[in-house]
Structure 1
Amino acid sequence: MKLNGIRVLDFSRHMAGPLVSCIMADHGADVIKIEPPAGDPTRQGSPRHPDQPFGCSYTALNRGKRSIALDLKNTEDLDKALSLIRQADVLIEAFSPGVADRLGIGHAAAAGLNPNLVYCSITAFGQSGPLKSVAGHDPVIQAAAGTLPRDESGAPVFPAVSLAAFAGAYAALSGILMALYAARAGHGGDYLDLSLHDVALTARPTTALQMLTSPGDPVHDFGAGIAMLQPYRTADEAWLLLGGNELPQARRLFTALGREDLIGAAAGPAGARQPAVRAFLSAEFRTRTLKQWMAWCNEHAIHASPVLELDQALTHEHAAAREMVVHDALGLPHLASPLRFGTQPARPSLAAAALNEHASAWDEWR
């Protein structure tokens, strides 16, 4: 696999850091998860199956890793951690700024022991700036980054997806792999200050650039109120989403519906002309079932999709064809890696280690 031979120490918890090391483990890295003596708190989550030993959050994000429990305030345990750092290629931590230094495993100490180490700190708001000490999970970060979804009235909505943590994990992975490439080329290790807030700020690059160049223009809120970028309820109480408002899309849709007079308004920006288009489409989509409309949209090359619940998406025939759900030895389901290589594909170990199951692993790296 692509990352065979890469040694990763993961001191992180929650989502972003564990997801990074999980992806690396799926692709062959030897990942040791360092846990406090009481274990990662997500171990205590409620399993959804009697044969599942840990909570879903822990299982999903920590498969394929080894577990060592260390109390970093204990001198002997800290020495073990430092021994591992000397032999590691990558260290991931998600402590609040300054905590890793106080524990004795900060970047300066780690780089002194291992100048080729790639050290990644993942925090909500980064290691600098007035918000650096602010703690918060994903919704707090999104609220501060302007990425919370909003309803039709403009009121913010609690997000269904942990955008900052998920995108932050892949950003961290990209940075780590860049730094590993440079280290293997003889340029030494590096330090990555990964702020989830920074990542969230870049999640809408086109809109962000528009707002920076001409702030305050309401058309910059991409998609808000645009009739051809909305969900519509069908005759069978399902939902269909229109997903493209380019002029060719508008021309095909409204010509087929016999309302060529609405083409210009539908393909235009958000504004006073959109409500009439939305009202027409709302009434029109109520006349047929979702299945009938999807067949019609496919026939007319209209960008549209059923709005699925997550369980429906996971069991969809397309997900099955892509083998996005795999099963462990007990028959329990897991998500596959979305990174599909033609050679050396992921071969994830789907088991999550018991707390301190690999207590002697620190000696193996010496």
Structure 2
Amino acid sequence: MLRQSLEGIKVVDFSQIGAGPTCSMYLGDLGADVVKIEPATGDVGRMLGPPWVDETESAVFVGFNRNKRSIVLDLKSETGLQIARRLISTADVVVESFRPGVMSRFALDYESVRESNPRIVYCSVSAYGSTGDYASKAGVDGILQAASGLMMLLGDNGDAPSKVQAPIVDVSTGYIATIAVLSQLFKRHRTGIGGYLDVSLFASALAIQQSSITGFLGDKALPTRTGSAAPYSAPNEAFQASDGWVMVAAYLGDRWSRLCNILGLPRLIDDPRFVTSSLRVVNRSAMRAELSAAFMAQRCAHWLALFDANDILCSKVCTYEDVMENPALQHMGLIATMETEDGRTFRVPGFPVNSRESQATPHRPPPSLGQHTAEILGELGYTAIEVERLMNEGVTKS
């Protein structure tokens, strides 16, 4: 099973909030043992909300931290650092998201730890990379949406800057970091040597804008903000029906002709302004004016049924209530259900690849702060008396 593919791989995770935890979560989904190191106050993500899950847990933390074990360590103490080094010496992967330089001050950076563990795959996640003039500059998802130009693609011309409300830069950075870690593990399998991975939110934010940035580099024209519309094809956008919005993509082949006939607008098929997708992009305002009045005449369900029957790509612009009723979501098992030891239930988007198979193995719920401290220390050889002493000294807690 896919969920067993990384069995035997141990990940030590120093990251917080979104990007790094996304990476370590997916490694955990693939079967790795992920040990999450937290300060006494916990991952900052635990404090972010609302929204809350079960009235007490941050949706940010719950959404990014399944399949992990939590240990609390005071990295400002020498004993806490010794425990961290001991953990890393037994690990295959380190994921960290401190500002560049912090791990060096702890002597937990790649150059330090590879001396005792040359097989370590070490992934640093930062805002602007670990070197260069911006290395020390901090940033979070929204800041990088702004710095990368992504905000200037969103909304319509004349609108205030807008951001994707889902943390798209964090999540895409986590995906890229996961790919990088898996690639380095594969290389290690061949060479026996680990390596260092420098993953940044800035680079990831640029990577998700491939076509827009490529277009700018080609003609130096700033992209036009087009709301729901794809800037490179038309019609490929949302239209308002009498009871909601319908997203339609009818720009290839004879879909434009079929769309015009369904809407009762056959005269537009050979209109010289609209005979190709490129011309429809150039004349989008006129095209929208023609189509919008027709869409308003019927409900979403009416149009969706006709479009589906005529192979026109379409969807209702869905609320989350609609999404939860989608047969594809149900069929693929895309919502994972996890139950804590005290009987609470969390539901989150699950592993997006081969999800039906993945659902066959229960997910480990996101850990409470320090939930596995004693267990992890015991695995490192600490006795129960030593664990109690460490807790009394404030080095750790459960």
Determine if the alignment matches structure 1 residue 177 to structure 2 residue 182.
Answer: yes
In the TM superposition, what is the alpha-carbon distance from 1:270 to its structure 2 partner?
6.3
Residue by residue over 1:253-296, the C-alpha shift from the partner in whole angstroms, topping out at 9 and shown as x without a partner, is 22443131347526225665221110011101001100000011
Distance 2:286 2:277 in 1: 13
In the TM superposition, what is the alpha-carbon distance from 1:119 to its structure 2 partner?
0.2
Percent identity between the two aligned chains = 29
Change (3 A) 1:269 1:187: farther
**SS of the counterpart of 2:114?**
helix
Normalising by structure 2, we get a TM-score of: 0.84
Aligned partner (choices 98, 104, 107) of residue 104 of structure 1: 107
Residue by residue over 1:133-174, the C-alpha shift from the partner in whole angstroms, topping out at 9 and shown as x without a partner, is 222211211111122243222543122222211111110000
Residue by residue over 1:209-261, the C-alpha shift from the partner in whole angstroms, topping out at 9 and shown as x without a partner, is 2322332275898824965122111012x000123422432232224431313
Normalising by structure 1, we get a TM-score of: 0.91
Deviates more, 1:7-16 or 1:265-274: 265-274
Change (3 A) 1:46 1:304: closer
- Give the letter aligned to residue 38 of structure 2: E
In the TM superposition, what is the alpha-carbon distance from 1:309 to its structure 2 partner?
1.7
Deviates more, 1:204-213 or 1:7-16: 204-213
Distance 1:271 1:173 in 2: 37
Deviates more, 1:338-347 or 1:32-41: 338-347
Distance 1:269 1:96 in 2: 48
Residue by residue over 1:3-55, the C-alpha shift from the partner in whole angstroms, topping out at 9 and shown as x without a partner, is 111000000001011111111112211110000122112223557454x7632
Change (3 A) 1:108 1:55: same
1:33 alignment counterpart: 36
5+ residue gaps, structure 2:
382-398
Residue by residue over 1:290-327, the C-alpha shift from the partner in whole angstroms, topping out at 9 and shown as x without a partner, is 00000111122111110012332133222112211232
2:314 alignment counterpart: 304
Aligned partner (choices 352, 358, 366) of residue 366 of structure 2: 352
Distance 1:346 1:127 in 2: 39
2:236 alignment counterpart: 229
Distance 1:310 1:43 in 2: 23
Change (3 A) 1:263 1:18: farther
Distance 2:250 2:210 in 1: 18
Aligned structure 1 segments of 4 or more residues deviating by more than 6 angstroms: 219-222, 341-346
Distance 1:216 1:82 in 2: 51
5+ residue gaps, structure 1:
none
2:154 alignment counterpart: 150
The question of whether the paired residues in 2 share the 8 Å contact of 1:230 and 1:242 is answered with yes
In the TM superposition, what is the alpha-carbon distance from 1:64 to its structure 2 partner?
2.0
Deviates more, 1:77-86 or 1:223-232: 223-232
In the TM superposition, what is the alpha-carbon distance from 1:120 to its structure 2 partner?
0.2
Q: How many residues align?
A: 364
Distance 1:37 1:91 in 2: 20
Distance 2:120 2:7 in 1: 17
Structure 1 residues 1-366: aligned runs within 5 Å: 1-44=4-47, 45=49, 48=52, 50=54, 54-148=57-151, 149-155=153-159, 156-216=161-221, 223-224=230-231, 227-236=234-243, 238-256=244-262, 257-258=265-266, 259-262=268-271, 265=274, 267-269=277-279, 273-329=283-339, 330=343, 331-340=345-354, 347-360=361-374, 361-365=376-380
- Give the letter aligned to residue 256 of structure 2: A
Distance 2:355 2:327 in 1: 22
Deviates more, 1:207-216 or 1:139-148: 207-216
- Give the letter aligned to residue 85 of structure 2: L
- Give the letter aligned to residue 234 of structure 1: A
